[in-house]
A and B are shown apart, each in its own frame.
Chain A
Amino acid sequence: MNILEISHLTMRFGGLVAVSDFNLSLEKGVIYGLIGPNGSGKTTVFNVITGFYKPSEGSITLNGHNVTGLSPDRITVAGMTRIFQNSRVFRELTVLDNVLIGDHLRIKSSPLEAVLRMPAYVRQENAAYEEMMNLLEGLGLVHLINEKAGALPYGLQRKLEVARALSTHPKILLLDEPATGMSAEETTEMISFILNVRKDFDLTILLIEHHMQVVMGICQEIKVLNYGKTIANGSPDHIQNNQEVIEAYLGVD
């Protein structure tokens, strides 16, 4: 069974059709790329499937469950977490708090139990703390746990966002232009980072990216959008040689 099924997804804003008849069958464990010129609707697709917009038409099925039209928090609970194009760390909160929040959706205690510090609640909090410390250590961020997230340099903020997304225990990770604003060296780092994270956390990844080096390097399959429509589908080789793609959008590197 495919982990994510999107069929006939269409998004209209008034008279403007931002996305038209978008279809996707995502296999578990795959890294799937979504590319296209600016304004082709890639981020809109992300916004719709993560619940920030309600689709005008179409359906989204995650692990067999219909998640069409659910609010973003419910979709994250269902196992799909996204990272934004611009850094959206919680700036005034510490690095530690930024990742601990990902555990909150699993807390089973009520607010009253939390206020009274019931043993079950304390146990959950301690377990979350352990898990997050390990996560941060694995990602090389543990020495920064008490720093305010907003004070970190941009590259580390991006890493923190990935850590935060991972703390929600996603099955699918949506990355929106993770390599933006990065040097060549940082980009290479980001590539191996994504590959490691997929392996260590058993993830499926859907990726929007402009850096062709990243896309062609790690994506197993790619879909190309232009003006909201899908114009090509397939392996990196196939896409690179597709005439329509080349015409619509010369790969920028």
Chain B
Amino acid sequence: MDISQILQYLINGVALGSLYALIAIGYTIIYGVVGLINMAHGDFFMVAAFLTMWGVLQYNLPWYVAFAIAAIITVLLGLLVEKVAYKPLREQKTSSFIGAISVSFLIQNFFVVVFTSRSKPFPHPAILDQVLNFGKVALPVVNIAIVLVSAILFLALFYIITKTKMGRAMRAISKDLEASQLMGVDPNKIIAFAFILSTSFAAIGAFMYCSKFPYVDPFTGVVPGLKAFIGAVMGGIGSIPGAMVGGFLLGLGEIMLVAFFPELTSFRDIFAYVILILFLLFRPGGIFNVKVREEKV
């Protein structure tokens, strides 16, 4: 395999890694603040993409208007789900998991019932379909957009987390909920903010993902959601840098595995699960070694 082929794989790996990182952040923000694995995160992702597509196909809206509306609806949906399904089950591990997975199936199948499960093309600005050619290496413009948008969002997130009041309150809650409350922090407001952040990232991630893989159906969110989740666990669930690094490495690793071991392509998914299990068994805190909650004796 020559250098141009490796470069090609790298280009795609970086793009996929950035996408997974974007989605992974959504999982980790919620987990850090409420200790819940939001199984429906992948489905919020799908909702944003689906509604954007619907706005363009059905109502002939320009893509940016459709996306804006879709993103707002997604964020509101996230807040609704939090209020109705997650808040009543806070602190109850298995019940909230069951609640989350029910919400996930609910959203998916609601869309199947209303919109059918047929896959539809995703509308995106034509410029993203362009490809820049450097000899044998093809650099799709959409990849550039993905990396740029991701970088901007990551920087924005860092700013929010470290410099704003809301961001610091989020970090406080994820370290110690009770103590934060004693300090006068209103957990509900912070949790709502966390959901707004998480769903916004899902929406933008959805737009970028579907610009690169331009077909949407009610199950579009399942696989990327799962992969991103694994990435978040790998990096350390609850840690934002962890989600970025973990998601990115998983996406990049997936592509490079296929690059260097094409015989193992069908084992791609098994590879992801094995990594997940190995991490949970031997390093549950992930790469960034997040502290695992332990019961006091």
Contact = CB atoms under 8 A, between A and B. Distances in A.
Contacts of B297: 43, 47, 52-53, 84
B137 to A, nearest CB: 49
Interface string A46-62: 01000011000000000
A161 B297 CA distance: 16
Interface in B267-297: 297
Nearest to A44: B297
Contacts, number: 5
A53 B297 CA distance: 10
Contacts of A53: 297
Interface string A25-59: 00000000000000000010001000011000000
Contacts of A43: 297
Interface residues of B, number: 1
A53 B296 CA distance: 11
A224 to B, nearest CB: 23
A16 B297 CA distance: 18
A201 B2 CA distance: 80
B285 to A, nearest CB: 14
A47 B295 CA distance: 13
A41 B69 CA distance: 59
Nearest to A72: B297
Contacts of A52: 297
A101 B109 CA distance: 46
A13 B33 CA distance: 26
Nearest to A86: B296
Nearest to A53: B297
A43 B297 CA distance: 9
A10 B158 CA distance: 42
Nearest to A52: B297
Interface in A50-93: 52-53, 84
A52 B297 CA distance: 8
A208 B159 CA distance: 50
A17 to B, nearest CB: 18
A13 B297 CA distance: 14
A108 to B, nearest CB: 30
B296 to A, nearest CB: 10
A49 B195 CA distance: 45
Nearest to A50: B297
A84 B297 CA distance: 8
A19 to B, nearest CB: 14
A40 B3 CA distance: 64
A47 B297 CA distance: 8
Nearest to A85: B297
A56 B297 CA distance: 18
A29 to B, nearest CB: 28
Contacts of A84: 297
Nearest to A82: B297
Interface string B161-200: 0000000000000000000000000000000000000000
A181 B297 CA distance: 19
A178 B297 CA distance: 16
A232 B75 CA distance: 63
Nearest to A43: B297
A53 B294 CA distance: 13
Contacts of A47: 297
A105 B297 CA distance: 21
A-B pairs, top 3 by smallest CB distance, nearest first, are A52-B297, A47-B297, A84-B297
Interface of A: 43, 47, 52-53, 84
5 contacts: A43-B297, A47-B297, A52-B297, A53-B297, A84-B297
